[in-house]
Chain A
Amino acid sequence: MSTLLSLRNLSIQFDTVRGRLNAVKEISLDIESGESVGIVGESGSGKSVLSRATMGILHGGNVHKSGDVTFDGNLLSGLSAQELREFWGTGMAMIFQDPMTSLNPVRKIGTQIGEALRIRLGMSKDDANKKSAELLRLVRVPDPDATLNKYPFQLSGGMRQRVMIAIALACDPKLLFADEPTTALDVTVQAQILELLDDLRKSLNMSMVLVTHDLGVVAGHTDRVIVMYAGEVVESAKTTDLFANMRMPYTEALFKSIPTLDTPTGTRLPTIEGRVPDPTQENPGCSFASRCSYVQEKCRTEHPPLTSDGNDHHYRCWFPIQVRSTL
């Protein structure tokens, strides 16, 4: 497999009224073609900012970006929006969290799918219509031809998310960012959408970055998981390896806060006490120190580097959890 996307020391900062906010700190990662990578973290961990910044669609004068983004052999950092646009839709595409607000309410589904085809691929109206119906069939929307003439408000949330996926796939992207694609949907629909994304990724040989706060979503649908906390990568490993051997206390805490069927009724679900540290403040120690149950003196004063266990499993912790299984 070849590397499709590579980030080197990508940092994103925002100017806010309270000073400079470090949203993403020095992130380096590689995504192979055909690979599915999950980015997990709680609200404010920088996962959405990371995916938007990678594409380059963060806009506004208060964004500061540093580091290199290389996509498919092209260095994207430093390109103007005009030049970046060449990669949007055709190289990288994104689907968004809330299918209720991601479609234009006053325009028909057909126009919205066809738009990308006509503008980016220069298709005629008829061709775009045919291709749109085909895309809807691909994302398993029942009765695609009738759906083309509907407005977003006439579709359910799950159907709208399918339409969003169809739009994102319109120009045959090599990399699909799915930014919390199932968060706004109910559980049964979530499973269907994840299943669909999985199938499409395999059949279209696409890479996918699945951004979510839900470790459960990541479990069955990714090859590799990156756990983010306070704008940093705190753990990254093969999905199976991560769930077997969590090294970083934060990952473990996240995992423990997922309800399971075998916890006795009436048990309080563990939560992670405290809050994400203020991203406008510099913190000398580990960013998770204030909430970690294994915290030691060193954690508060020295920032842990990202260390490897030699097995492509990286973690950012001074006192990692010992490997429990010796499989």
Chain B
Amino acid sequence: MLKKQPISVIFAAAWLAILLFFALFGPFLPIPDTLHSFEDSLSVGIFSQGHILGTDSNGYDMFAQLVEGSRYSLLIAGISVTIGALIGSIVGILGAFKQGIFDRIANALFSVVLSIPNLLLSITLIAVFGTSPDPSNPVPPSRRLIVVIVSLTIVIVPILGRIARSTAISWSNRDFVTAARSMGMTDRQIIVRHIVPNVMPALMAIAFLAIGVVIVAEGSLSLLGAGIGEKTTWGSMIARGRSDIEYYPHILFVPIIAVALTVISCNRLGDQVRRNLDPREARL
């Protein structure tokens, strides 16, 4: 499976690996604290002495922020897409295979959630569950983080669920499923051995796309002030950098480029994963 891969895939994988490394080991690396203000070097450009990506208008180191941002952005995207993919594929595949009332209800729910604009849904959930009416008694940051993750998961479930369901329906009607049944295999064995391996490639490709979508969605939430709040994410960096675009564009461009590279890498990798999981294409 890890044979010769196109150069673009190697770059995509390398970029995501670097991100993952900084996200996981950031706290142990000699990186300045995100909240330490370098007051004698405000808004210095990239490649400045001691600040490889410069500082923002508060004198905070951009690289340190980017690293902390990658931790939260990837955490949010990773968790919500993983849980979303699990729930979506279980519901979608079971529904597709068993048909009947369960499938109809699940599909109706997917449609309802899909019909609500994502951002509106997330902001509503965050406003209801992630804020406190009493300013002296704010919700704890961890709860805010969980609400953001859950709200994004709810957006992801129907997207991946639909894909899993439609792919599973087309595979459930193939002769090899009937053949497996006629050999005495149980429904569970048929789903695990015959349906899931065929649904995986498409699902993986879309799940990688979804990681990109969630990173952007989290950015939009932060931009609108409905992000996870206290901690830095790429979205909150973009939100803060907006006002400096005329004089210090690097403050805005650094997180934007990070987001763009990550989304492109996820798409490219997702596409390649689909190809590699499909033996017909992998052997070509």
Contact = CB atoms under 8 A, between A and B. Distances in A.
Contact of B182 (A55, A61, A107, A119): A55
Given A106-B198, A151-B280, A153-B279, A85 B178 contact: no
Contacts, number: 85
B197 A106 contact: yes
B193 A115 contact: yes
Contact of A164 (B179, B193, B197): B179
Contacts of B180: 115
A96 to B, nearest CB: 5
A104 B182 CA distance: 14
**Interface size bucket, B side?**
20 to 34
A170 B277 CA distance: 28
Interface centre among B182, B185, B193, B280 (most CB of A within 10 A): B182
B27 to A, nearest CB: 41
Interface in B182-234: 182-186, 189, 193-194, 197-198, 201
A278 interface: no
Given A94-B179, A107-B197, A101 B184 contact: no
A88 interface: yes
Contacts of A107: 193-194, 197
Interface in A218-241: none
A260 to B, nearest CB: 33
Contacts of A59: 181
A119 B188 CA distance: 12
A90 interface: yes
A101 B176 contact: yes
B40 interface: no
B174 interface: yes
B182 A106 contact: no
A63 to B, nearest CB: 13
Contacts of B182: 55, 57, 88-89, 92-94, 168
B183 A170 contact: yes
Contacts of B201: 106
Interface in B263-284: 277-280, 283
B142 interface: no
Interface string A156-168: 0000000010011
A103 B197 CA distance: 13
Chain B interface SS verdict (over half)? helix
Nearest to B279: A151
A104 B175 CA distance: 9
B30 interface: no
A25 B23 CA distance: 68
B178 A57 contact: yes
A53 B179 CA distance: 14
Given A88-B181, A153-B279, A104 B186 contact: no
B99 interface: yes
A116 B174 contact: no
Contact of B279 (A85, A101, A105, A171): A105
A104 B197 contact: yes
Contacts of B174: 101-102, 104
A98 interface: yes
A286 B110 CA distance: 50
Interface of B: 99-100, 174-176, 178-186, 189, 193-194, 197-198, 201, 277-280, 283
Q: List 9 tightest A-B contacts by C-beta distance, closest first.
A: A88-B184, A89-B184, A89-B183, A102-B175, A94-B182, A116-B183, A101-B175, A96-B175, A151-B279
Interface of A: 52, 55, 57, 59-61, 85-90, 92-98, 101-107, 115-116, 119-120, 151, 153-154, 164, 167-168, 170-171
17 contacts: A57-B181, A85-B186, A88-B183, A94-B179, A96-B175, A96-B179, A102-B175, A102-B179, A104-B174, A104-B198, A115-B180, A115-B185, A119-B185, A151-B279, A153-B279, A153-B280, A167-B179
